Structure 1
C-alpha cells in the first residue's frame, strides 16, 4: 500500500473525502501513478497532486479512475461537484484584510500621542458584503448536499444521465473485442491476435490482452471484462491460471502460459 503525505488540515472536508476515496481506489487496484497516467490520459505528476489534495482533479479524471477500477462513479461525481463548488468559492474569495490591533497604551518613551495616526475605521458596508458572500456560499453547499441525497435515492435515473463517455481529448474510447473461440490446428484461439504468443505484462493493452482474456474465460477463470486492458482483475486471473496449471506464478503471460492457455 502506497505511503501518502498527510492531507492539509485546511483542506475542505469534501475535498479531503474525495482525495481519500481516490487513494483507496488506487491502492485497491494496485495501481501506480504511471499506470493511472497510461490509462486515464492525465500525467503522473497531476495524479500526485490530485491524491495529495493540493489540486482538485477534473471530473473526467474521477470518472476514468472509477471506470478502470470498476467502482460506482455516481457517489464520486456527486462528491466532486460539492468539493469543486467549495474549492472555487475559496479561491475566488479574497482573504479579509486584518484590522489594526488595539494594544496597551505606549510607554512614556514612545512617540508622542499627537504623532500617532488614528486607526482607520473600516469602510462602510464592508461587513454586510462579507456576510452576504458567506451566506451565498452556505446556500450553495446546502443545495449541493441535497443534490447528493437525491442522487443516492434515485441512482438508476442519475446513472443514465452520467453514463455518457467523458468529453475529453486526452483519451479515446477503448476498442471493443468479441471472443470467437475456435480450435485451430489443435490449439484454442479467440481470433483476436492471429495466434501470437508475445509476452505481455501488467499494464499492457491491445488485442494480445483481449485474446488472453478470452482464453482465460474459456478456461473457467474470469478476467473481468474483455476490454484489452491488463489490469488488476486480469492479473489475478493470470496468477490463478498459472497456479492451477503448475506454472511459475509471476502474473506475466509468456510462452509457457500461452501454451497452457491454448491447450
Structure 2
C-alpha cells in the first residue's frame, strides 16, 4: 500500500514526532483532507502542508484534529508545546528522507496546493518565527503516544542549575537537597531540567527531582524513589490545580517552572 510522502530531512525531531502522531490520528479516522477541512477551521491546502512537514502546525489545528477524530488532545498539546521550541529550517531547505515511523497508508486523493498559504498564516503562532534556544528533552513513545520521561548521566536537559551528576538506580530511595538554588531557581540535586516530560510509569532522575520539589512545596508524592506512579501523579495534579495550571498530571515546562520557584 502507498505511503505518506517522506517528511523533510531538516524537520526538527519533536516536530517530526508530532506530525507522525497527527498522520496516524487522521489515518485512523478515515477522513480525507477535504473532509478534514470541512470539519475544522483550516483549509485542505493547510492540512496538506501541516501533515507533510512543510509548515509548523498551529496549536488550534492540533486541538481541532483531535476533536474531529474523537481523541484526547492533552498529550498531543504537550508535544506541540515542546516542538514549538525548535527552530524550523528555511523554506525549501533539505531533501525529503524516508520516514520509518509513518507506516503504510494510502495517499490522500485531494493532494492540496499552496494557493491559500497567505490566508493561513494567521493560524501560526509568532513563536515559530523566533529562533529556538534549546531542543526539547527526551520523549518516549509507546503505541504512538507519549508515556514517560528519559534518563541521562546528570538527569538534566537544559543545562541550568548546579545539580551534581547522579546515577539513577531503580529500587532505592533518594535524599533531597532543599537548599539548592541557582539563578533564583530551586534544585534538589538530581536533575537540572526545565522541560523534561514526565507521565505515568516514567522513571529516572527527573522523576526524583520532581518528587523532591513536590515535597518541598508541601505536596506528598509518596516515597522519593524515582518512579512516577499514581500517588506522584495525584500530587502533581493537586500542585497544578493550586498553581492554576492545567491539571493533567503531566510534568512539563509550565509545571517545572512552578516547581523550581
Instruction: Give the TM-score normalised by structure 2.
Output: 0.38
Bigger relative contact order (CA 8 A; separation at least 6): 2
Instruction: Give the TM-score normalised by structure 1.
Output: 0.38
